[in-house]
Structures are given as structure tokens and as C-alpha cells.
Amino acid sequence: MTGTGRDPAGRHEPRPRAAGSTGAAVAAGGDNLRCGFVAVLGAPNAGKSTLVNALAGTKVSIVSPKPQTTRFRIRAVVIEGPAQIVLVDTPGIFAPRRRLDRAMVGAAWGGAKDADLALLVVDAKAGITGGVRSIIGRLAQQRRPVWLVLNKVDLVPRERLLPLAAELNALLPFAETFMVSAEKAQGLERLREKLAAAMPPGPWLFPEDELTDLPNRMLAAEIVREQILRQTHEEVPHHATVETEQWTERPDGSARVDCTIYVARPGQKAILIGDGGARIREIGRRARAELARLLERPVHLFLHVKDRPGWDEETGRLRALGLDEEEG
């Protein structure tokens, strides 16, 4: 394991970066180092987290086919030559109904406040939806460069892409336009190079081998929530939250992680547990394997499910998710 070493509380331990992408870049950069923040914005399910993971070269955000997967801002660190690009992955922007929804949307716009530039990610297959128009309207009021990233272009006939890009640029003249498939890692090299060149001169803000500022306790909770999203349907995924209650370092180098899953209703608890506990065991098995892969050491994961009506309106629960309703 590289980086700053293990934190006994499991608060933070950087995931390792691919070999050859760090120290050599700093040495070569010398006085030419660059560093900046890039806010990744868009409607739910536009592929923002998939794009961030693809640019970072490893998982830093959870991904699922369901919208509103990301609930809080996650910073992923990408190194391209002498530049350190700090990508701020944000929740999808949508019309909020619950207090949780308002906090998520606030987190998205809060992530864009101090960024050097913003990437608007648009699902090319879905096209210009009402949600996209609303986001563009707000971006037009802000004084920062905005780049357009048309994602999922592999799912759209080529002859439709240029007219779509032109229509979007008519709504807001974008400084740059990119056509990519984050899922298939197509078109990312040009985007990465352009981002590196656009970063302002200055020292790097994160250690060379640090991929994300996401604490391990929060990473564990997010990986469990990803499996809930993938293995349950209907109302359960978006009415569930996960908190890491305890992180214990063991003498053999492994970690014991205790997570609690809160749901809004007893019926959702029954769905999560499954017949004879089958579903919760499978959620735990897959989450445990993913955590062990990301942390590069054995993980003993224990899951507990509790029904807690109205958790998505509780200030304490929202703060545990890293959300602040006042942002935005």
C-alpha cells in the first residue's frame, strides 16, 4: 500500500495510483506544475461518475444504472504530465422534493462554486431534456468556463451528434466540446490533455499517490450502497442510506468494518434482508470483495439493517452523508 499509511479509525487511506504516473511527472514538471479544480455537473444518469472513474483510472465514485446514485461531492485526483486535475464529482441535478434531495442538489452546485472550470456532462442518447435546459440556464449565469461533454456517443448514430452539439452550443456557447463514451473509454485522451493544459499554474494540492479524498469509512458505506442499488429495485435504493459505524484495524493487517443500513419503512427492511437473509448476505459478499480489491487487503464486513422513518429529513443523517442543505 502506498501513501500516508493506515488510519486506525479508517478515516483516510489513499488508493494507489498506476505505476509510473506520479513521481516522474513531478520531476519532469519542475516549475511548470499546474493544478486546478474541475466540477463535473449534469442531470442524473448522465454518466458523471463513470466519466470520473474512467479519467482517474480506478473507482472513486459508485456507479449504477439508476439515477441519483452519487449523493455528495467526491474529489478524484488525475495526473496528466505536470498537471494535477482535481475532478469534483457531484450528485445529479434534478427537481428536489425531500430534504435529502435539496441537500444533494445543493452539494452539486456547491461543488461548482470554486472550480476553475465546469464540465457539463450530457447523455447524448437522452438529448436535451428539461433538466439539461435548466442546468444550462443556471450555468449561463456563472462566470467560469464551461465545457460540454457529450457522453454515451457509442449509443447514438454519428449523424445525430453534430446537430445535438450545435443545438446545445446555441443554448450556451461552450468553450470546448467533447464527444466521449466513458463506459468504453473512448475520446478521453483528448479531454484529459485539454483539462491538463487548462489548469492554472501552481503547486499540486494532493500527495502524488493520492487518488481521492474520500475517507475509507465513507468509501465502505458507498460500496455497500452501490450493491443495494444494483440488487434491489423500485423504492428501496433511494430510500436507503448506509453509515460505517465502526472501523477496527486487526493485528493481521485486515480490517473489520461494521455498517448500518437505514431504510424508511419495515417493508424495505424485509426486502433488503431477503428470504432467510439471502439478499443481505449477497450484498455483503459483493461489497466485501470490492472493498478488499480497492484497499488491497482483507476486509471483514458486517451489515445491520434498521428501519428509521424520515431519516432523509434528519439533519444528523444528512451530515453523516457529508451533505449540507445550505450549500448551492
Q: Which domains does the chain have, with CATH numbers?
A: 23-198 (3.40.50.300), 216-320 (3.30.300.20)
Closest CA to 320 of 241, 256, 207, 264: 241
| CB environment 80-90: b (16+ within 10 A), e (fewer) | bbbbbbbbbbb
Backbone φ, ψ for residue 174 (5° rounding): -85, 140
Grid coordinates in use for 17?
Answer: 495510483
Strand partners, 80: 83
Task: Give me 281's grid cell.
Answer: 448476505
Alpha-carbon distance 268 to 31, whole Å?
A: 56
What is the spatial distance between Cα 106 and Cα 93, in angstroms, rounded to a whole number? 9
Cβ neighbours, 10 Å, residue 9: 13
Inter-residue contact 72 to 294 (CB < 8 Å) = no
* Nearest Cα residue to 39 out of 75, 81, 71, 78: 75
Q: Compute the radius of gyration of the chain from its Cα atoms.
A: 20
Q: How far out from the chain centre does Cα 238 lie?
A: 16
3-state SS class at 176 = strand
Residue 175 has what pLDDT? Answer: 93
Residue given cell 445525430 in the structure block: 160
Question: In sequence order, what are the residues at sequence separation of 6 or more whose Cβ sits closer than 8 angstroms to the Cβ of residue 54?
Answer: 182, 183, 185, 188
Extract the C-alpha cell encoding 264: 424508511
- Look up residue 68 and give its amino acid: Q
Question: What pLDDT was estimated at residue 328?
Answer: 47
**Residue ranges of E strands in 133-181:** 146-151, 176-179
In terms of pTM, does the model score above 0.85? Answer: no
Which helix (H) or strand (E) segment holds residue 270: the answer is helix 266-273
What is the full per-residue pLDDT of the chain (328 aa) written as tens digits? Answer: 223 233 333 433 444 343 334 444 444 445 689 999 898 888 878 888 889 888 987 655 544 444 444 444 567 788 899 999 988 876 544 444 555 555 555 555 565 667 888 899 999 999 999 889 988 988 888 777 899 999 999 999 999 999 999 999 999 999 999 999 999 999 999 999 999 999 999 998 877 765 554 577 778 888 888 888 888 765 565 667 888 888 899 999 999 999 998 887 888 888 889 899 999 999 999 999 988 988 888 999 999 998 877 655 555 555 655 545 444 4
* Residues across the chain: 328
Residue 240, pLDDT score: 78
**From CA 218, how far away is CA 323, in angstroms rounded?**
12
